Amino acid sequence: MGKIATAYRSENKANMSSSEVSSRPGIQFGLSLPNRAVLFGLPAEELIEAGVSAENTGLFGSLWVGDNLLSKPRLESVVTLTALAMRTHLVRLGTISMATFAMRNPVFFAAQWASLDLVSGGRTILSVCNGGAASASPRHAAELAVTGVASNERVARLEEGIEIVRRCWADGTATYNGTFYQFEDIEVLPKPAQPKIPIIIAVSPAADKPKIEERALRRVARLADGWQTVFEPVDRIARRWQDIQRYADEYGRAGEIGHLSQHIMIKIDDDADRGMADGTRFLRKYYGEKSWQTSAQYLPNFLAAGPPSQIADWITRRIDAGVNVPVVRFVDIDQDTQLERFCAEVVPSIARHADISRVEPTPSAQLARG
């Protein structure tokens, strides 16, 4: 898989010269690894190797894995990120997103994530979400039941959890008196390598429920360091990003929320119809035949399928709307070929319109010690 990185660096770096890009700075790709695909024939070692290859291209600043318990079984997220931490040196490592966050004991989790941050040399990003409601499916209901979380508690537990892990990661002892958790003068050790681990909230509220939408976006502005979205159309991304910045200003946090990522499914195929059909088939197997991800309402803003130029245009429109971390997932068991074509054929087209930040490989990079 190393030949992918070698070929890209030697043949395509010239395609990303600064003279060809616009003034939009700092776009950095993330790669979402399909850790659920191990249930459908993708060996776990190949999943990790895909992450290593992505880092070696110099094009990906972060690697991400999904997270669920019973609703969408997969390789457990923290364990998978730890494996990636041992095989990589420079890329950031994150969840996209941690759907079990509201179900996890936040003090125990704070210790677990701090350890991951230490062994990775301070490279973690934590993206969290509410997780699915009990009404979403019987598996979602079972997931909440076995963890003892009522469906209507998910948002409140998310908010408490964010507050608690931040206190546990700060220097000294922590005290908290909330609805679900109470403790006094505890100290979680060791502390993370980073002075402040970035916390991103992943949320895409329904557009036809303005009160719920405002509460969700205000939650991002009040508690998070960034926003992560999934199936938003371009105009809605731009509007909601402006709303988040406005709310952040109200909370005295102007300029503190700079990360905007979108989770994008990619299927590169010179035949657009075939690419869409194959990509949809993969997603239905990955998420389930009746999942919202493959519905006619959401699929056009979730899956970019077709020739490289078409995919580049799809992503560029999101960048124009404010996305500065496009996180791509290749919806194909053949991760190697999709990664190679993305680097060689899609990225250079995007680079003519946006400044792509590179992460140059450094073989001598050493694991940072906390």
Contact between 303 and 283 (Cβ < 8 Å):
yes
**Residue 328, in any domain of the structure:** yes
- Cis omega before residue 190 (within 30°)? yes
- Can you tell me the distance from the alpha carbon of 222 to that of 11, in angstroms, rounded to the nearest whole number? 44
**Residue 20, in any domain of the structure:** no
**Residue 56, in any domain of the structure:** yes
> What is residue 324's three-state secondary structure?
coil
325: closest CA among 59, 53, 111, 120?
Answer: 59
**Residue 36, in any domain of the structure:** yes
HSE at residue 98, side-chain half, CA atoms within 13 A, is 28
pLDDT of residue 359: 85
pLDDT of residue 348: 97
Q: Classify strands 174-177 and 124-128 as parallel, antiparallel or unpaired.
A: unpaired
pLDDT of residue 25: 53
**Residue 103, in any domain of the structure:** no
- Tally the domains of the chain: 1
**Residue 272, in any domain of the structure:** yes
pLDDT of the chain, 370 residues: tens digit per residue:
444 444 444 444 434 433 232 334 589 999 999 999 999 889 999 999 999 999 999 999 999 999 999 999 999 999 999 999 999 999 999 999 999 999 999 999 999 999 999 999 999 999 999 999 999 999 999 999 999 999 999 999 999 999 999 999 999 999 999 999 999 999 999 999 999 999 999 999 999 999 999 999 999 999 999 999 999 999 999 999 999 999 999 999 999 999 999 999 999 999 999 999 999 999 999 888 878 777 888 899 999 999 999 999 999 999 999 999 999 999 998 999 999 999 999 999 999 999 999 887 544 343 332 3
**Residue 108, in any domain of the structure:** no
- Can you tell me the distance from the alpha carbon of 359 to that of 55, in angstroms, rounded to the nearest whole number? 8
Q: Classify strands 259-268 and 124-128 as parallel, antiparallel or unpaired.
A: unpaired
Q: Which range of residues forms the domain containing residue 272?
A: 26-66+260-364
**Residue 200, in any domain of the structure:** no
CA torsion through residues 169, 99, 43, 64, sign: negative
3-state SS of 109-167? HHHHHHHHHHHCCCCEEEEECCCCCHHHCHHHHHHHHHCCCCHHHHHHHHHHHHHHHHH
326: closest CA among 21, 67, 55, 26?
Answer: 26
- Helix, strand, coil share (%) of the chain residues, nearest 5: 50, 15, 35
Contact between 226 and 255 (Cβ < 8 Å):
no
